[in-house]
Chain A
Amino acid sequence: MSKFRKALFALPALALFAFAAPVVAKDAPKKMGIGREALPEEVKAWDIDVRPDGLGLPAGKGSVKEGETLYLERCASCHGEFGEGAGRYPVLAGGKGSLKGESPEKTIGSFWPYASTAFDYINRAMPFGNAQSLTPDETYAITAYLLHLNDLVKEDFVLTKENFTSVKLPNVDTFYDDDREKTEKAFWKKEPCMKNCAAEPAKVTGRARVLDVTPDGKSGPKVD
């Protein structure tokens, strides 16, 4: 909308609600006046997110040592004493050099790009089933211990709000933005082949039945 039309729009509003002039005079979409202003305490209560540049980190600190105690108490039953994962719960440590192999192990040390991701997630969602129960110091300590399990900090390390961004994860530079429109340009074929598209008849090379992992009636329903 042009400024000119905006101004025309604002005129009757000014006439009716002269006291509201500063709001409608602004070059922005018309306000509906629905919703109310969030109080600073309310924003503080919900705004818990943390970014790689450290924005959102609370004041606090925690050591690898403190983290070890907390981790063994509240995390190890699912993630394993050394972050190796119990059952099918996520593995958090190890996996170095596995990303090009047959079974990549995507841990904080081998895969994750940023340490802030671990802090943010522990803070918002862990322990599983008792989310948002950890204090900032406890979250710093557990994050520090996980970094230590991944050989990224020494055992006397203390993680703080101030030194947080100095921790770099080794795999960060291998992430790149979606480029499918360039690298997979060949899929925009427009007119695909319709007749005699291959010289040989199709041969079956693999069957789901061999694995036999489908629930309910392992090999599909019977036909009568």
Chain B
Amino acid sequence: MSDNTPSTSRRRFLSGAGLAAAGLVAGKASAQTAPKPDPAIVNIPDWSKNLGEGVQARPYGSPSKFEKSTIRRDVEWLTVSRESSVNFTPLHALDSFITPSGLAFERHHGGAPDVDPGQYRLMINGLVDKPLVFTLEDLKRMPGRTNRAYFLECAANSGMEWKGAQLNGCQFTHGMIHNVWYTGVPLKALLDEAGVKTNGKWLLAEGADASGMSRSIPIEKAMKDCLVAWGMNGEMLRPEQGYPVRLVVPGWEGNMWVKWLRRLEVGDQPWHHREETSKYTDLLADGRSRRFTWIMDAKSVVTNPSPQAPLKVKGANVLSGVAWSGRGTIKRVDVSLDGGRNWATARIDGPALPLSMTRFYFDFDWDGRELLVQSRAMDDTGYVQPTKNELRKVRGLNSIYHNNGIQTWLVRANGETENVEIS
């Protein structure tokens, strides 16, 4: 382990300053023990001499060139083509509870179109009093505009881990999630404008992409808290997140949050389309399949330390992670360093909003011992995140979707961290 870590040099600095202040340093430390001055301090760097970039050098800002490794990544063997594929949010490199727009994971089924907002239309048809067409400008002048932070988790997040630990990194095991602020109008306002007939019990949401993504949503959910959104994190949606308009279905699996939303049809039955029959149904051990498993159960993951963000220094450390629940608000997160034998309650930091990612920290001293790090989320319905083995016991190994089991990271004595399964 390097001796040049921030915390050791900080400690040295602090103790030196303390001695000086107490008048105990006579200014003749022996040559052998005298620390060498830090070149980062005593040499004047270029950025302190020369002028930096002017304004407008980057009209749309981008991260520092030193942050090139903080990117979405994909796993090439996972899917057959990049147009029908997924990449992963770098959770290990992020903090707070909001995901930066450019790092929010992508999942496309027919590629990400860049829809011309001038040509954008949203249609409502089916069991309504009057079928309607809205332009983007229509949506933007509707009363009731609102901003909400919600997590969007793909139902297949952690799906590669049902049979055992596969991928080394929370980016890959848990990165099919993001949490951003949405700007939009309640879906209810649009449906009320069209007038849902009394036999209208289901809604088909359909995208304008080349997969014509379509999902059936019960009308109660559509009327309760869904949004038709054009904004994320205060600006227009990114193309890969559904520009110019997407559906927001809080707490429910990401596949239902139809991007490039072009049509909403009201009907009296579900449509049983491809994404809700051949996919996104949970095949259980007895060969039967549970369908309409829309809600994402409470889940959490420690993002630091994790395989891509190992522990580096003994002594004071901050363990960090995120928790979320599709049933409500995160009430508590516990952390274990010994594989679930003993637990301590973590510190929730920042807003703990309903159906939103919630940041937690656990400040601890690491003595260099091997750790088995876990986190366990609890929501306000009393649901406690189960272990992977508890989940496997009730669901078998074939369900692909909805794996919300407790993740274990093995931290070795040298700080390297690995995705493991434990007894």
Assess whether B166 is in contact with A99, with CB atoms less than 8 Å apart: no
How far is it, in angstroms, between the C-alpha of A28 and the C-alpha of B274 when the chains are bound?
A: 34
From B99-107, B234-242, B374-382, give the one contacting chain A.
Answer: B374-382
Assess whether A176 is in contact with B422, with CB atoms less than 8 Å apart: no
Residues in A whose Cβ lies below 8 Å from that of B79: 88
How far is it, in angstroms, between the C-alpha of A51 and the C-alpha of B129 when the chains are bound?
A: 21
- Between B267, B277, B286, B422, the greatest number of chain A beta carbons within 10 A of the residue's beta carbon is seen for B277
| Least distance between A211 CB and chain B CB atoms (Å) | 6
Given A28-B195, A208-B165: A223 touches B415 (CB 8 Å cut-off) = yes
How far is it, in angstroms, between the C-alpha of A34 and the C-alpha of B285 when the chains are bound?
A: 50
Residue A166 at the chain B interface, CB threshold 8 Å: no
Assess whether A223 is in contact with B383, with CB atoms less than 8 Å apart: no
Residue B86 at the chain A interface, CB threshold 8 Å: no
Given A176-B291, A178-B294, A220-B307: A52 touches B272 (CB 8 Å cut-off) = yes
Assess whether A207 is in contact with B342, with CB atoms less than 8 Å apart: no
27 of the cross-chain contacts (CB-CB < 8 Å) are A35-B124, A38-B132, A43-B131, A46-B125, A47-B125, A49-B271, A51-B267, A111-B278, A114-B272, A120-B274, A131-B212, A175-B291, A178-B292, A187-B297, A194-B343, A197-B342, A202-B408, A204-B422, A206-B421, A208-B166, A208-B420, A209-B168, A213-B77, A214-B75, A214-B167, A214-B168, A219-B168
Residue A216 at the chain B interface, CB threshold 8 Å: yes
Residue B363 at the chain A interface, CB threshold 8 Å: no
Residues 335-351 of B, flagged 1 when their CB comes within 8 A of A and 0 if not, give 00011111110000000
From B27-35, B50-58, B133-141, give the one contacting chain A.
Answer: B133-141
Who on chain A is nearest to B397 by CB?
A102
| Least distance between A74 CB and chain B CB atoms (Å) | 15
Report A's interface with B, CB cutoff 8 A. Answer: 28-29, 31-32, 34-38, 42-43, 46-53, 55, 87-89, 99-100, 102, 104, 106, 108, 111-114, 116-117, 120-121, 124-125, 128-129, 131-132, 174-180, 183-184, 187-190, 192-198, 200-209, 211, 213-216, 218-221, 223-224
How far is it, in angstroms, between the C-alpha of A154 and the C-alpha of B74 when the chains are bound?
A: 43
Given A188-B381, A206-B420: A196 touches B271 (CB 8 Å cut-off) = no
Residues in B whose Cβ lies below 8 Å from that of A223: 1, 310-312, 414-416
Assess whether A106 is in contact with B278, with CB atoms less than 8 Å apart: yes
Residues in A whose Cβ lies below 8 Å from that of B166: 208, 211, 213
Assess whether A177 is in contact with B271, with CB atoms less than 8 Å apart: no
| Least distance between A25 CB and chain B CB atoms (Å) | 13
Who on chain B is nearest to A194 by CB?
B343
Who on chain A is nearest to B169 by CB?
A214
Residues in A whose Cβ lies below 8 Å from that of B323: none
How far is it, in angstroms, between the C-alpha of A221 and the C-alpha of B50 when the chains are bound?
A: 34
Residues in A whose Cβ lies below 8 Å from that of B312: 223
How far is it, in angstroms, between the C-alpha of A108 and the C-alpha of B274 when the chains are bound?
A: 10
Interface residues of B in 120-178 (CB under 8 A from A): 123-126, 129-134, 138, 141-143, 164-169, 172
Residues in B whose Cβ lies below 8 Å from that of A111: 278, 283, 289
Assess whether A198 is in contact with B340, with CB atoms less than 8 Å apart: yes
Residue B398 at the chain A interface, CB threshold 8 Å: yes
How far is it, in angstroms, between the C-alpha of A219 and the C-alpha of B408 when the chains are bound?
A: 16
How far is it, in angstroms, between the C-alpha of A116 and the C-alpha of B270 when the chains are bound?
A: 12
Assess whether A38 is in contact with B341, with CB atoms less than 8 Å apart: no
How far is it, in angstroms, between the C-alpha of A111 and the C-alpha of B193 when the chains are bound?
A: 39
How far is it, in angstroms, between the C-alpha of A177 and the C-alpha of B282 when the chains are bound?
A: 10
Who on chain A is nearest to B286 by CB?
A100
- Between B131, B267, B292, B414, the greatest number of chain A beta carbons within 10 A of the residue's beta carbon is seen for B131
Assess whether B132 is in contact with A36, with CB atoms less than 8 Å apart: yes
Q: Choose among B81, B131, B418 the residue that contacts A220 (Cβ–Cβ < 8 A).
A: B418
| Least distance between B66 CB and chain A CB atoms (Å) | 16
